[in-house]
Structure formats: structure tokens, C-alpha cells
Amino acid sequence: MLRNELFKPWFVADDWGFEIIDGEYKEVTVQIQKLEFPSEDAPELQLDYHIIRKPDHLTDEDVRGDMFRSVMEVIINDILREAIDNLKQTRDNDTKESGTE
């Protein structure tokens, strides 16, 4: 997991996002506005985000480029992988608890 190495997630009410804490995009803060999983209508993951803050040395073009998209993809995949692992662990714990009754 890259949490606390490459990025630090944040949550405020229903809003969430992350701050990049290492690498070329260090100090860029992103708010996730929409994250939808693939469906028949949209076969790819749908992601809408807003950059809340970026350091002065980065241009708008820097955070629109392919390299930034690659970093975003790595972070989103890591967040999803962690969420799936947590869900599996919760299910396993629920199954173990219900089996002991």
C-alpha cells in the first residue's frame, strides 16, 4: 500500500480526496468528485476530480499531462485495492463470528 508513502487520504463529511506527499507532484491536493465503477454503459472506471491546491512550481499543463494521470491512476488503484482488502477482511470476520454462535 502506498498510503502515507505517496499519498495521504482525507475525508470531510461526504467529500474525500488525497494529498500527494512525495514525488514530482508533492503537495498537490485532490478532491474526488465522482468515482463510478464500470457498467454496461461505461466500461471503464469513471473519475472526476478537482485539484484544490498545487505548488506554484507546477503549471496547469503539468497536472493535465499523462504523467500526472499515471500517478492518479496508481493512487486510485491503491485506494481501491485497500478498500477491497478491508471489505474482504470484514466479510471474513463476519463469517468467523457467525460461525461461532
Contact 6, 75 (CB under 8 A): yes
Which structural domain, as residue segments, surrounds residue 93? 7-99
Contact residues for 36 (Cβ-Cβ < 8 A; gap 6+): 42, 45, 46
Count of domains observed in the chain: 1
Q: Give domain status of residue 33, yes or no.
A: yes
Whole-number pLDDT of residue 5: 92
Q: Give domain status of residue 2, yes or no.
A: no
Single out the residue of 48, 47, 55, 44 nearest to residue 20, CA to CA.
Answer: 55
Q: Give domain status of residue 85, yes or no.
A: yes
pLDDT tens, residue by residue, 20-70: 999 999 999 999 998 887 888 888 878 889 999 999 999 999 999 999 999
Say if residue 3's pLDDT is above 70: yes
Q: Give domain status of residue 68, yes or no.
A: yes
Say if residue 97's pLDDT is above 70: no
Name the grid cell of 6.
505517496
Higher pLDDT, 57 or 89: 57
Whole-number pLDDT of residue 47: 84
| pTM of the predicted structure, to 2 decimals | 0.77
DSSP per position, 28-82: -EEEEEEEE---SS--S-EEEEEEEE--TTS-TTGGGSHHHHHHHHHHHHHHHHH
